[in-house]
Structure 1
Amino acid sequence: YSDARVADNLRVGYVRSVDDTLRNALGALGVEATELKVDDVRAGDLQKYQAIIIDNRGYLAHPELISANARLLDYVNAGGTLIVFYHRTNEWNPDPQKNRPQLAPYPIILGNSRVTDETARIEFSEPQHLLLNYPNKITQEDFANWIQERGLYYPQTWDKKYSAPLSTNDEKEPSLRGGLLAADYGRGRYIYTSMVWYRQLRAGIPGAYRVLANMISYGRQ
């Protein structure tokens, strides 16, 4: 992954989920990365991190993170970049019975759509978007040799403040545009992605490392 560039002097915090894939990937990128416990989110100094990642299904792995989510949004508002990997519909969508509010700064409602063909063509609907250009220029090559699938539980609706620079679909299925959503919030940035980066990172797919590098570098150009 030596061709994956990251912004200078990045410090990244991450909330671990089920394994060490994310930690290992950040290490492979040469990034200073720190695992955050929920108590760190509640009471720690988050602004020392340029980016924070919630690993896939992190709000399920750590239900108490939901009550601390406002601190994450405050972190973004003050200038940080928050990246949230995929969640299932019933782990994410607002649910008063579970005391779960809208977790994103602007509404994102997940559905059950997925793209199971790992070779499905990726369309660049916003080719000039910063996430596709800095510090790594993302091309079709970065989506080659993926394994198992493209993404899960794609958003069915999202606020117009989000950009959706990628789209893809299984054959004879409608195009799904919400696999990578990004919005400015206050002085910071928020990213939600339903694409299965963890499978690709674990498999050593170079393009996944390049996109991860762009996500953690977002807004640091």
Structure 2
Amino acid sequence: RPSLVISVTGGAKNYNMQAKLLRAFRRGLLKVASTTGAWIVTGGMNTGIMKLVGEIVEMNPSHRRRIHLIGIATWGCVAGRDKLNVYGKTVEYTKSSIERRGTAPLEPNHTKFIFIDDGSEEKFGGEIEFRACLEKAISGNFFGTRCRTTSYVELQTSATTATTSSLHLERSVPVVLLVVEGGPNTVRTVHEAVVKNNIPAVFFEGTGRCCDLFAKAVRLYKEYIKPIEDAEETSQ
């Protein structure tokens, strides 16, 4: 059972992060994962930010504390998936010499994989909804339970319900979505996690594309919209 789940999403294409940002990202991710026993979740492919996370995990200085890196991928997008279509056997997966458009090899430093077969082929993003639901199930609505305001009626619940809720919170695991760069599927991932499943997101500003767009939107909200909302609450 992890103490924390870090779900990393972002660009799936070849991506070169600025040296300063890369050092900060690598240092922070390794420190958190190696000291807290956190699980890291990605899309599992050997491209873009997923490949970068795999390479960072490979650099883990603590050999006694293995970092759990879990890839959740769309089955129809896995290059050479025919080699994995077996049951009860151990197979050697090697990177295919020929990759078709819409496919990618698996990143070798991931410790576990979950494949989502939605019937599609060579179409990335089929795993997004499942991934968000899985992360919500792991979190047990960790943040939603804490952020919810309590009404007078809710305070009238029985002692049994209160005890059940306490046990539920004890089993909950905090999950956070870490966004680095990214395109349309990253926007979908953020929407599924934040809007639909109440999972908080951290945007690594400066990495480009939709990540910077989200970060700018958050700043504009804090600067222009939140003061108005706070003033309205105060006046009520």
Larger Rg: 2
Structure 2 length-normalised TM: 0.29
Question: Which of the pair is proportionally richer in strand?
Answer: 1
Question: Which of the pair is proportionally richer in helix?
Answer: 2
